[in-house]
Structures are given as structure tokens and as C-alpha cells.
Amino acid sequence: MKERINRSVLLTVLALLLAAPWLLPAVGFDYWLDILAEILIWSLFAASVNLLFGYVGLLSFGQALFFGMGMFGVAIGVAKLGLGFWPALGLGMVVAVATAAVAGALAVRLTWHYFAIITVVFSLIFYFIALSAKPLTGGDDGTSFSMPPMLTLGESELSLTDQTVQYLFILLVVGFAFFVKYLIVRSPFGMALMAVRENDVRASLIGLNVYFLRWIAFVVAGGFAGLAGCLFALFGRYASATYMFYHVSGEGVVWTIVGGAGTLFGPAIGAALLIVVREELSNMWEHYPILVGIVVILTVIFAPKGLMGMWNALLDRLASPSADGTKKDEGPREAIETAVAPVKGEAGP
Amino acid sequence: MLQIADLTKRFGGLVALDRVTLDFEANVLHAIIGPNGAGKTTLFNTISGMLRSDSGTVRFRGTDISGMAPHRISRLGMSRSLQIKSVFDSMTVAENLWIAAQAREGVMHPFSNRRRFGRTAARVDEILEQTGLEGLRASPAGTLSYGDVALLEIGIALATGPTLLLLDEPICGMGPAETESTVEKIRHLAESVDIIIIEHDMPVVFDLAEWITVMAQGGVLARGTPQDIAENAAVREAYLGDEDDDDEDGEGDGFDA
């Protein structure tokens, strides 16, 4: 029953997202289409944090680095190199993935707090490089560019300057990325990642190359963050080093934890919720991050599996209204989907 | 099958393994015994690649595996269980076995559904039957009793299709009935896989082992058949001398049997 309900919720949300460019103006909320696009992009960014933290057990505070690399790849590609839409997008991805491959080779030698610290350090190093490389990145001012067309057919051209086209393009790319993440999670590779998360010593003893698996996951996660950065650059026609700062990485971690680490859509839900809170509250109350802090603390204490974990637990309870003890033997089939193992501390002896 | 030559491992000033030279023959069920701190687990850790030795060599079926990474040694067909039981806690019993079996087949299939790997699924069913864990296949490993976790440890080690199984105190934490059935399982396994077992329970060791190695203070004290070992004066002294008083497991019992 749980799978059925979750599937119908997912399909409904997907249908609403697809219809949003026509639905929102109809109810007089035109302005929300851009916020929705932004939420989609940041969901993808949170998915990057989640792939590392939720599935491999590596808490990264450096994902903003790859986000920023994607942004600058696109912006510099268009503004400085005169690239078209697709080549610029490609450049952003290549730059982000290459950075992740190099940084990852060093970072995944470490785990836990050491790993978290080195990801912050990497992100700071590149932040200051981006700030000081003024001729290339624009320094404090960043790099802005004008949108090249996505597709030109004779007279007519398709471009993200059309708000609806832009939104649907972002939805399509983010949806595709989440589909790839879904494939990864249910594959043998995804299971190997979870084994590494659960117990890296045991994983190496059954013949898994723990270092290599962590590195691949780091590169894929860097690709997700980079793709989000590319989209955000296209969305804002702009790249800035501020998005490389570890503060941005921290937001991704917060969204992931609140939504539910180690679940497919938890981070997207966390991102959506907290961005809406920001949009609604930041104008009224400048200290609204206090509220976000309280939400995070409450989540960690009362719902360590995040909102998605709470939702799944609720569905489990509805599915078996009898006392809790009776359904023990069936065992939760979704144990992996909902588990947040990294919280339990160092694995293995 | 397994040749260890001059293997030395130091932890700071402590010499955990002192130029250990041992040769384990194939098709013989080996046991390693010795007082706590004798270096038994350190020996396993060094053989399986979890620890790097300071000097000496380990050869496994003709391949020099000294200094090799654990996953590469595992792929050569050596599998081990850990003294402090450790499995994949939030994964189910079946998933624990599945990933161990698939580790040998290759896990770099990032886009294919894991349900499509029929051979691995068949292997999981086989191991579930062998270990008697069928009833618990869908339970998260973290919810199992201590004895069942110990069985799952053996199952995970088996799922990788090893030719040599290193078992570190496999029956630790089991009740009498579980112990008996596990001993039978190990005896049965020994028909198809080489086994080296570290065990503190002397009746079990003397019942199971065909060849016993006694370690003490990082070195090899004696080797021989259970009969030889039971009659060996140096062994009796090592155990009865100062270890017997604080002995909780009844280690000395075997010598009287």
C-alpha cells in the first residue's frame, strides 16, 4: 500500500509541476513560477548532498564548490568564450565533474569530520581563487551574460528568455537527474554504496573497493551539483563566487536532513519547504534563519529520518492498524530507503 | 595453501606478532588457540589485509598477498568473519547476503535494476538455507539476536564464494543449542572450503579441529593434532599457569576431556 500511495503522490506532484506554467497565472501567482524553478534547481543540489551523505555516509560541506564550477563554466563559456547554449552547458558540466574528480581523489581518503573539514577547505580555496581571478570570473561582481538561444529553426528560436520554456527546461533536466538517481539507488552499484555507508570495514572484506566506490559517488554527486549550478547560471544569466561559499553547501545539508537523508525525494521536500519559508518570512522578519535552525534541531531530535521518514512511518502505521509488535516479522521492505545510517556514528571497529 | 613467513607486527613498543612462521595445509580444518593477547586476531587482521605487517610475507595459494588491500585479498577467495560482529545493520538479512554475493560478480552496474541479477538471488537463497536464516530474510540485520548475527557473519563470508574461510570466534555469544548446530554447519562447510578458526571454547576446538596451532605472546607455542596439543606440557603451562584463574569461558576444560 505504501508504494501505491507514494507512487500516486509522486504522479500528482509531477502533473502539478508540469501544469504549473498555466495553473499559477490562472490563480494569480505568476511570480511563483520562478520560485518553483529555483526550488527545482536547489532540489537537485540537495540531491547531490544526499547522494553522498544519505547513501555513502560522507557528509560534505563542499558541494557548493561544484555548483559554482558549473555556474562559472556556463557564464564564462557564454560571456568570455562566446559559446552557444549547449556547448556552454557542456563546459559547465565538464569543469564541475573534473573538479570533483580531482578534489574527490584527495577527499575520500578521509571520512567523517575529517572529510567534512577537507570539503570546507576545498570550497574556501576555490572561493578565494574565484574572487581574486577578476579578469576571468569578474571577482566580487561576478560574470553576467545574455542568454544564447537553445534552438534555432529558421526564423523562430527557442530560448530560456521565455519564462515558460525556461521553467519546463529546468523541470525536464531536474526530473531526468532524479530519474538517474533513482536508477543508481536501486542498482547493484547503489547497494554497494549503502554497504559502504553501513560498514566500510565489512564492505572491503567482501571484496568491495571502498575508496573507488566513494570516489565514483563523489564524482557523480559533483556532477549533480554542477548540473544544478549550470541551471542556476542559465536561470539568473549570472555566475558569482558567493554561490561557492560553504554557507551554500550548508543549506544543502540542512535541506537534506530536514527532508530525509537516504530517501530519493526527501531532500527535494526539504528544499521546497525551507525555500518557501524563506520567501514568505524573509521580508517580514530578518532573523528568520533562527526559525530554520529550530526546525533543524527539532528534526534531528524527533525525526532523525526527516520528513520523508515521518511520512513513511505514518503510512506503515496506517497499513497495519494492529499493535506495533505484530508486524515485526514482515520486516520493513523499505528499510534501506528510509534509513539514515550516517547518524549512528562511526561504522565498524 | 597459506604460507606465513617471519611475519612481524608491532603496535608501538608491543610486539603483537613476533616473526611468526606458519604453514596451513589445504583440506584440513585448522584451529588457532591461545590466551588473550596471544596475537590470534592480529594474525587474521594481517593475513586479510586489514593491518599491514612490519615485515614478513604471506602467500595464499601461491600468490604473495603481503601488503595487498583487503578487497583484493577477498577477491582471491579469502573470506573472513570478524570477532566483533559487524554486518550491514540497516539492510535486511537477504540484502546483506546479496551485496556480498554480488561483490564477486561486480557492482559497477549503476543503471540496472538489482532484481535482474538472478544468479545472485539464487546464491542468496542457497546461503539462507545453508545458514538456516530463511525465516529472517526480510529482517533488518540490526534487529537480529547475537547468535543470528554470528550466523549472518558466516553467511556473508560464504556468499563471496571463498576457498578459504577465516572464522574469528564464530560461536561467541551463542547458546548451547545454537553452538551445537553451528559446529555441525562448520564441519559440513569444511568439506568444500578450507577453514581456519580462532576459538576460545575448548570443547568445540577439540571437537572440530584436525590441526591445532597454539599461539602465546605473539609467537607459535605448539602445533599438532588435538591429541598432541592436549598432552603438550608447554601448552598446559601457558593455559594453566596464569590464565586459568581469570578464565571466564572455561577454556581449560578441553584438556581434561
* Interface with B, mutate which of A176, A181, A202 (most B CBs under 10 A): A202
Structural domain total, chain B: 1
Q: Which residues of chain B approach chain A closer than 8 Å at the C-beta?
A: 48, 50, 69-71, 74-75, 79-80, 82, 84, 86-92, 95, 98-100, 102-114, 117, 135, 138-140, 143, 156-157, 159-160
**Shortest alpha-carbon distance between residue A152 and chain B (Å):** 33
**Shortest alpha-carbon distance between residue A194 and chain B (Å):** 8
Which residues in chain B touch residue A336, judged by CB atoms under 8 angstroms apart?
A: 90-92, 95
pLDDT confidence band for A28 (50 / 70 / 90) = confident
Is B79–A349 a contact, with Cβ atoms under 8 angstroms apart? no
pLDDT for the residue B211: 94
pLDDT for the residue A58: 93
User: Each residue of B18-75: pLDDT tens digit?
Assistant: 999 999 999 999 999 988 888 999 999 999 999 999 999 999 999 999 999 999 999 9
Which residues in chain A touch residue B140, judged by CB atoms under 8 angstroms apart?
A: 331-332, 335
CB A92 within 8 A of CB A73: yes
**DSSP H helix total and E strand total for chain A:** 15, 4
* Gap between the Cα atoms of B60 and B38, Å rounded: 23
β-bridge partners, B20: B7
pLDDT confidence band for B240 (50 / 70 / 90) = low
**Shortest alpha-carbon distance between residue B176 and chain A (Å):** 25
User: Each residue of A141-194: pLDDT tens digit?
Assistant: 889 888 888 888 777 788 888 889 999 999 999 999 999 999 999 999 999 999
CB B94 within 8 A of CB B136: no
Average pLDDT on A85-102 reads 96
Paired sense of beta strands B30-33 and B211-216, if any: parallel
* Gap between the Cα atoms of A148 and A207, Å rounded: 49
**Shortest alpha-carbon distance between residue A345 and chain B (Å):** 12
**Shortest alpha-carbon distance between residue B225 and chain A (Å):** 30
**Shortest alpha-carbon distance between residue B232 and chain A (Å):** 35
Q: What is the dihedral of CA B131, B136, B142, B147, to 10 degrees?
A: -40
Nearest chain B residue to A327 by CA distance is B139
Average pLDDT on A264-289 reads 87
Which residues in chain B touch residue A187, judged by CB atoms under 8 angstroms apart?
A: 109-114
How many Cβ contacts (< 8 angstroms) between chains A and B? 131
Which one is predicted more confidently, A336 or B230? B230
Query: Closest Cα to residue A242, out of A341, A115, A124?
Result: A124
β-bridge partners, B10: B15
Which residues in chain A touch residue B157, judged by CB atoms under 8 angstroms apart?
A: 205-206
Residues with Cβ within 8 Å of B166's Cβ and at least 6 positions away in sequence, in order, are: B44, B47, B48, B78, B79, B80, B81, B195, B196, B197, B198
Find the domain containing B78 and state its range.
2-256
pLDDT for the residue B241: 59
Largest CA distance in chain B: 62
Length of chain B: 257
Is A208–B71 a contact, with Cβ atoms under 8 angstroms apart? yes
If 0-12 CB within 10 Å is exposed, 13-18 middle and 19+ buried, where does residue A18 land? middle
pLDDT for the residue B136: 93
Average pLDDT, chain B: 88
CB B19 within 8 A of CB B70: no
Which residues in chain A touch residue B135, judged by CB atoms under 8 angstroms apart?
A: 329
Average pLDDT on B223-232 reads 89
Is A207–B91 a contact, with Cβ atoms under 8 angstroms apart? no
Q: How far lies B180's CA from each of A55, B103, B147, B203, in Å?
A: 39, 31, 12, 11
* Interface with B, mutate which of A55, A196, A204, A205 (most B CBs under 10 A): A205
Is A349–B84 a contact, with Cβ atoms under 8 angstroms apart? yes
Please state the pTM of the whole predicted model: 0.87
Is B102–A331 a contact, with Cβ atoms under 8 angstroms apart? no
Q: Structural domain boundaries of chain A?
A: 2-6+33-321+331-343
pLDDT for the residue A333: 43
CB A118 within 8 A of CB A108: no
β-bridge partners, A238: A144
Which residues in chain A touch residue B92, judged by CB atoms under 8 angstroms apart?
A: 331, 333, 335-336
pLDDT for the residue A3: 82
The verdict on domain A2-6+33-321+331-343 having CATH code 3.40.190 is: no
**Shortest alpha-carbon distance between residue B201 and chain A (Å):** 23
Task: Among B74, B114, B135, select the one facing A186 at the smallest CB separation.
Answer: B114
Query: Closest Cα to residue B70, out of A209, A212, A195?
Result: A209
pLDDT confidence band for A26 (50 / 70 / 90) = confident
> Quick check: A322 pLDDT over 70?
no
Query: Closest Cα to residue A345, out of A47, A113, A50?
Result: A113
> Quick check: B145 pLDDT over 90?
no
Strand (E) positions, A57-210? 143-144, 151-153, 156-158
Is B91–A202 a contact, with Cβ atoms under 8 angstroms apart? no
User: Each residue of A3-13: pLDDT tens digit?
Assistant: 888 889 999 99
**Shortest alpha-carbon distance between residue A313 and chain B (Å):** 15
pLDDT for the residue A285: 82
* Gap between the Cα atoms of A5 and A2, Å rounded: 5
Residues with Cβ within 8 Å of A116's Cβ and at least 6 positions away in sequence, in order, are: A59, A60, A61
Which residues in chain A touch residue B100, judged by CB atoms under 8 angstroms apart?
A: 206
User: Each residue of B152-211: pLDDT tens digit?
Assistant: 999 999 999 999 999 999 888 788 888 998 899 999 999 999 999 999 888 899 999 999
* Gap between the Cα atoms of A291 and A26, Å rounded: 32
pLDDT confidence band for B232 (50 / 70 / 90) = confident
Is B69–A339 a contact, with Cβ atoms under 8 angstroms apart? no
pLDDT for the residue A329: 43
Nearest chain B residue to A342 by CA distance is B90
Is B103–A186 a contact, with Cβ atoms under 8 angstroms apart? no
Is B86–A186 a contact, with Cβ atoms under 8 angstroms apart? no
Query: Closest Cα to residue A63, out of A37, A105, A96, A110?
Result: A96
pLDDT for the residue A151: 82
Strand (E) positions, chain A? 143-144, 151-153, 156-158, 238-239
* Domain CATH for B13: 3.40.50.300
Which residues in chain A touch residue B87, judged by CB atoms under 8 angstroms apart?
A: 199, 202
Length of chain A: 349
> Quick check: A337 pLDDT over 70?
no
pLDDT for the residue B83: 81
Is B103–A208 a contact, with Cβ atoms under 8 angstroms apart? yes
pLDDT for the residue B193: 93
